[in-house]
């Protein structure tokens, strides 16, 4: 783990560098030219300059040994500057992941030291033209080359698609099928038969280089097989999902806030109908405040997962998926709302929110799409529901009720309603065998993410009130403001689980059964969920006042 002081200094240097070298006009020009600024990327990765790569390399290989929380802070900081450049810089981290997780000591020494000492750029080559979400369908092959009965090397044939840094990296982690199954190989730029396509002309993150790769009889020595054992590739990829999804989650969070941080000051100055937009409730309560709540739920879920990974709880793939899903969906909504918040100006290049909105769009696609996240989350928690005979989310609800008893006003009461409703919706899905409808399975994934994200936010608000927040954590909101934000999100989460749960349980029935619908409404406790909405407008008024720096006293909350 990096000391908090060192991390703060790194983030400060990053911001100062960006201020000097990447002002808005430069970013807009790069975006219009569709250009990855290679010199800037190299500067950021050079050990004697910004050296961002050093943060992720273990200390024994010349790095600073940053943990998941550090990675989140850096990724958010990078995304606030430019998501394309963030992708270019962080692709090295992604590309070196199979090495960090699965390589032999000699391989780690060689490749991680080269990243640390030379600023070697890496790329991560998993996706193929016909294998995206379903990596098991991969067709790139690595055939053994044997001499005297010994495997001395491999011949790689195939193609990779949409590879970040594809055209600029010096080395590539490439997933290919060996006789014993998918395996990672390291292929250097310049290897015979290895070609990189021209940069893709993309919707967003145009400052990052994305290219296809092709392999025609590319020979690599046997020591380029990561870990030295064939067939470990998918396991090695999965072993870091919790971690890498947090990176993209932080991208969504950083880009979403970057957009709101333009919309908020803009609306304080823009006068329409005689007063600033920031004073109009129909504006702030639609375009600003709900997006703040969703982004902060994403943050709470990122921070909690990062702390648990750093505490040694393993890769936490499902929690990483929840953090990615919430933060990237929230980032997209926030950026889109920011265009609306700036009106016609928002629709032009000059005001940046349009670019941020195009950039952040990728975060719900790469490193696992939102639909794949929904599936991952639902499948994992479905097993918990079955294993505990339906108790899992009732137990989580009781924990929240206890939290609400200790910390009235952090939103945990509404989260408890969301968890109880979730447990009931899952039980009805079990009895009716509703997960045979894929749509219902994926919707479950969405409700689970919202309920668990709301719980993380309520816990974060409680910790903030107790002064126990991680010293590296964002302190943008004080305890009162965070509690109000948490109450807003928790109400929305409860409403989503209750109403959407009822909608799809009913929607899956072949014929309408009135008496059962009434029973489901009661089981999901919709009336309590509706009563929990009382006080919502007052909380939103308060959060708007906090955001716009208007003197405000905390409102009395409704538990």
**Where on the chain is the footprint of ligand FAD (CB under 6 A)?**
91, 124-127, 132-133, 162-164, 202, 205, 210, 362, 365-366, 369, 371-372
Rounded to a whole number of angstroms, the minimum distance from the CB of residue 479 to ligand FAD is 38
Nearer to ligand FAD, 160 or 487 (CB): 160
Nearer to ligand FAD, 365 or 517 (CB): 365
Residue 238 CB partners (closer than 8 Å, separation 6+) = 315, 317
CA quadruple 143, 147, 149, 153: dihedral sign: negative
Quote the crossing angle between the two packed helices 370-387 and 412-431, to the nearest 10°: 80
Return d(Cα 228, Cα 8) in angstroms, integer: 38
- Nearest Cα neighbor of 323 from 438, 216, 437, 246 is 246
Rounded to a whole number of angstroms, the minimum distance from the CB of residue 80 to ligand FAD is 19
DSSP codes, 359-416: HHGGGGTTTS-HHHHHHHHHHHHHHHHHHTTT-HHHHHHHHHHHHHHHSTTSSHHHHH
Nearer to ligand FAD, 307 or 371 (CB): 371
Determine contact, residues 291/333, Cβ cutoff 8 Å: yes
DSSP state of 183: E
At 172, which helix (H) or strand (E)?
strand 171-178
Return d(Cα 18, Cα 367) in angstroms, integer: 26
Nearer to ligand FAD, 164 or 414 (CB): 164
Residue nearest to ligand FAD (CB): 132
Provide the phi-psi class of 175: left if phi over 0, else alpha when psi is between -120 and 50, else beta. beta
Nearer to ligand FAD, 127 or 305 (CB): 127
Nearer to ligand FAD, 50 or 205 (CB): 205
- Nearest Cα neighbor of 156 from 105, 98, 214, 112 is 214
Rounded to a whole number of angstroms, the minimum distance from the CB of residue 186 to ligand FAD is 15
The tokens for 249 are: 């989650």
CA quadruple 372, 373, 378, 379: dihedral sign: positive
Return d(Cα 174, Cα 167) in angstroms, integer: 14
Instruction: Count the residues in the chain.
Output: 559
At 193, which helix (H) or strand (E)?
none
Rounded to a whole number of angstroms, the minimum distance from the CB of residue 25 to ligand FAD is 24
Rounded to a whole number of angstroms, the minimum distance from the CB of residue 372 to ligand FAD is 6
Rounded to a whole number of angstroms, the minimum distance from the CB of residue 473 to ligand FAD is 29
DSSP codes, 201-217: --SS-TTS-EEEEEEEE
Nearer to ligand FAD, 54 or 126 (CB): 126
Q: Answer yes or no: 367 catalytic.
A: yes
Rounded to a whole number of angstroms, the minimum distance from the CB of residue 433 to ligand FAD is 19
Which is it for strands 210-221 and 150-164: parallel, antiparallel or unpaired?
antiparallel
Determine contact, residues 427/380, Cβ cutoff 8 Å: no
Determine contact, residues 183/98, Cβ cutoff 8 Å: no
| Three-state secondary-structure class, residue 503 | helix
Residue 556 CB partners (closer than 8 Å, separation 6+) = none
Rounded to a whole number of angstroms, the minimum distance from the CB of residue 325 to ligand FAD is 12
Rounded to a whole number of angstroms, the minimum distance from the CB of residue 427 to ligand FAD is 24
Nearer to ligand FAD, 251 or 477 (CB): 251
Rounded to a whole number of angstroms, the minimum distance from the CB of residue 228 to ligand FAD is 22
- 215-242 b/e with 16+ CB inside 10 Å = b? beebbbeeebbbbbebebbbebbebbbb
Nearer to ligand FAD, 372 or 523 (CB): 372
Catalytic residue, chosen from 128, 354, 367, 404, is 367
Nearer to ligand FAD, 115 or 421 (CB): 115
Tell me the C-alpha to C-alpha distance, in Å, between residue 2 and each of 58, 309, 310, 321, 519. 11, 15, 11, 24, 53
DSSP state of 52: G
Active centre residues (catalytic): 367
């Amino acid at each position: 783990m990096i000391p908090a002081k060192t991390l703060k200094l790194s983030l400060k240097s990053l911001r100062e560098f960006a201020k000097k070298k990447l002002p808005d006009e430069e970013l807009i020009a790069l975006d219009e030219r569709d250009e990855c600024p290679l010199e800037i990327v190299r500067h950021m990765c050079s050990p004697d300059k910004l050296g961002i790569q050093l943060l992720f390399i273990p200390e024994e290989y010349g790095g600073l040994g940053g943990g998941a929380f550090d990675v989140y802070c850096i990724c958010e900081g990078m995304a606030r500057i430019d998501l394309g450049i963030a992708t270019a810089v962080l692709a090295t981290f992604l590309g070196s992941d199979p090495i960090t997780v699965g390589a032999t000591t000699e391989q780690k020494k060689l490749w991680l030291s080269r990243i640390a000492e030379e600023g070697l750029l890496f790329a991560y080559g998993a996706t193929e033209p016909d294998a995206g979400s379903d990596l098991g369908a991969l067709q790139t092959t690595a055939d053994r080359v044997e001499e005297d009965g010994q495997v001395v090397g491999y011949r790689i044939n195939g193609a990779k698609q949409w590879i970040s840094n594809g055209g600029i990296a010096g080395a590539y982690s490439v997933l290919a099928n060996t006789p014993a199954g998918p395996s990672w190989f390291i292929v250097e730029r310049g290897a015979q038969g290895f070609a990189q396509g021209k940069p893709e002309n993309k919707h967003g993150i145009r400052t990052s280089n994305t290219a296809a790769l092709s392999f025609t009889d590319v020979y690599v020595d046997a020591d380029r097989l990561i870990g030295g054992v064939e067939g470990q590739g998918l396991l090695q990829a999965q072993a870091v999902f919790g971690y890498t999804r947090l990176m993209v989650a932080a991208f969504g969070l950083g880009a979403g806030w970057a957009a709101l941080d333009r919309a908020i000051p803009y609306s304080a100055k823009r006068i329409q109908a005689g007063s600033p937009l920031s004073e109009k409730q129909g504006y702030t309560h639609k375009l600003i405040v709900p997006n703040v709540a969703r982004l902060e739920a994403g943050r709470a879920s990122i921070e909690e997962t990062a702390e648990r990974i750093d505490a040694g709880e393993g890769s936490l793939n499902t929690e990483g998926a929840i953090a990615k899903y919430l933060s990237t969906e929230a980032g997209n909504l926030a950026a889109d709302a920011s265009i609306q918040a700036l009106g016609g100006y928002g629709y032009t290049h000059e005001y940046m929110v349009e670019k941020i909105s195009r950039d952040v769009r990728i975060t719900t696609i790469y490193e696992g799409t939102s639909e794949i996240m929904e599936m991952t989350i639902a499948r994992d928690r479905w097993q918990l529901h079955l294993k505990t005979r339906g108790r899992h989310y009732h137990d989580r609800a009781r924990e929240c009720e206890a939290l609400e008893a200790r910390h009235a006003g952090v939103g945990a009461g509404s989260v408890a309603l969301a968890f109880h409703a979730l447990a009931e919706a899952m039980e009805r899905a079990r009895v009716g065998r509703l997960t045979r409808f894929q749509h219902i399975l994926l919707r479950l994934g969405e409700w689970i993410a919202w309920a668990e994200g709301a719980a993380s936010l309520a816990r974060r608000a409680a910790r903030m009130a107790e002064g126990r927040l991680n010293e590296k954590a964002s302190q943008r909101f004080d305890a009162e403001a965070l509690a109000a934000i948490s109450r807003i999100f928790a109400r929305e989460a409860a409403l989503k689980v209750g109403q959407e749960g009822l909608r799809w349980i009913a929607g899956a029935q072949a014929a309408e059964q009135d008496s059962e619908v009434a029973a489901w409404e009661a089981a999901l406790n919709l009336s309590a969920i509706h009563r929990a909405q009382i006080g919502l407008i007052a909380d939103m008024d308060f959060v708007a006042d906090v955001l716009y720096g208007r003197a405000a006293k905390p409102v009395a909350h409704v538990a």
